[in-house]
Amino acid sequence: MSQRTRLFRRKDPYDLPASDEQFLRAVRENCAFHYAHCPEYRAVLDSFSFRPEDLREYADLEKLPFLPTLTFKKHRLFSLPRWRMAAVSTSSGTSGQFSEVGFDFPALWCDWNMLWKIGRPRGFFSPRPTHYVILGYKPRRDNRTSVARTAFGATLLAPALSRTYALKYENGSYTPDLDGVADALVRCGKSRFPTRLVGFPSYTYFLLRLLESRGVRLSLPPGSKILLGGGWKQFYTQQVEKPVLYDLAQRVLGIPEEHIIEVFSAVEHPILYADCVHHHFHVPIYSRVIIRDPETLAPLPPGQPGLVEFLTPLLTATPILAVMTDDLGILHPAGSCPCGNPAPWLEILGRVGLKDIKTCAAGAAELLGKGGDVL
């Protein structure tokens, strides 16, 4: 059994200290694989005179050379031939460049394992038939973005009675149909089955505002939920409005705050982070976070803001085992959340050079802005 499989089979997804040794072994195995099969990755490690065998103890993970996420937007790095990949995931190309990351078959198994262990305690799975309102893209064959896929994947967590999408593909482009979505929600309000709202925080906020302006007051049946997500880039732009969003959801849809769950994941770090009841993103055992000084890149102690680096041994098709984002964040110390989850939690503060980069959320907000004066 591979070291990666052993890591993903572990029972408790948040017991980091108990999994440290296994995490190290899995990263070393992963590093050796990419070193042997991806010439570009080997060149990077060679340029730092770093060999996979140099990962001897857990503290050595800090020394593993990382690749900036930008690398994956500019280059296609693969350690497996295409025919051995189960799927290829791409980031949304709002800025013109996008990353492409391959999934091998065992990685998909790991993925499902992770989804089950992270999602179950937060009530992701339910046997009850459910209406879905997706504030995102209606799937198309040529839309391979992880955002569209994840949104569709979310509708498989409980049997789908209906699916309504906010962005429909018409005449060669996506157009928002918030009115259609609002009408669908009102219909769902009359159903005895629960409804799940899935989408970017920005979309959800706009929709709730639209409903409120129409005087809509629903009381969706118990089991109804809001799943917020769509990539960590959305966070900080929306953060201020979160409490407002929770209030609105309660007022307009009758969904209490504890049933609003936020997740994040990224193409270059496809690990599922789900928030706890205090809306903190605890680091699961499949991932490690290193916060680095933006100037010196030296690792910083917990509680200090810096650049966010992610590690995971999830994929053998693409060398994403250590990626440096252009986000600033804080890793709050283990045991510091009142929810009882012992794992440290990650807070994303913002992006370096924010104004230069058009984010996916900004693109979405722009698109929605064109669709009607909901603001």
- The footprint of Zn ion (CB under 5 A) covers 276, 278, 280, 337, 339, 341
- Residue 132 half-sphere exposure, CB side, CA atoms within 13 Å? 23
Q: Which helix (H) or strand (E) holds 28?
A: helix 16-37
Would you say 26 or 276 has its CB closer to Zn ion?
Answer: 276
Would you say 3 or 239 has its CB closer to Zn ion?
Answer: 239
Would you say 40 or 347 has its CB closer to Zn ion?
Answer: 347
Q: Is 191 exposed, middle or buried (0-12, 13-18, 19+ CB in 10 A)?
A: middle
Residues composing the chain = 375
**249, 255 contact by CB (below 8 A):** yes
Would you say 199 or 284 has its CB closer to Zn ion?
Answer: 284
Each as own residue / partner, the long-range contacts of residues 78-83 (CB below 8 Å, 24 or more positions apart, any chain) are 78/38, 78/102, 78/317, 78/318, 79/33, 79/34, 79/37, 79/38, 79/41, 79/316, 79/317, 79/318, 79/319, 80/37, 80/104, 80/316, 80/317
Q: Which residues neighbour 242 within 8 Å (Cβ) at sequence distance 6 or greater? A: 201, 279
Whole-number minimum distance, CB 334 to Zn ion, in Å? 11
Would you say 39 or 302 has its CB closer to Zn ion?
Answer: 302
Would you say 299 or 342 has its CB closer to Zn ion?
Answer: 342
Whole-number minimum distance, CB 280 to Zn ion, in Å? 4
Whole-number minimum distance, CB 286 to Zn ion, in Å? 17
Whole-number minimum distance, CB 278 to Zn ion, in Å? 5
**168, 174 contact by CB (below 8 A):** yes
Whole-number minimum distance, CB 204 to Zn ion, in Å? 22
Residue 311, Ramachandran bin (φ over 0: left; ψ between -120 and 50: alpha; else beta):
beta
Whole-number minimum distance, CB 282 to Zn ion, in Å? 6
Give me the phi and psi of 341, to 5 degrees please.
Answer: -70, 120
Whole-number minimum distance, CB 14 to Zn ion, in Å? 9
Would you say 34 or 279 has its CB closer to Zn ion?
Answer: 279
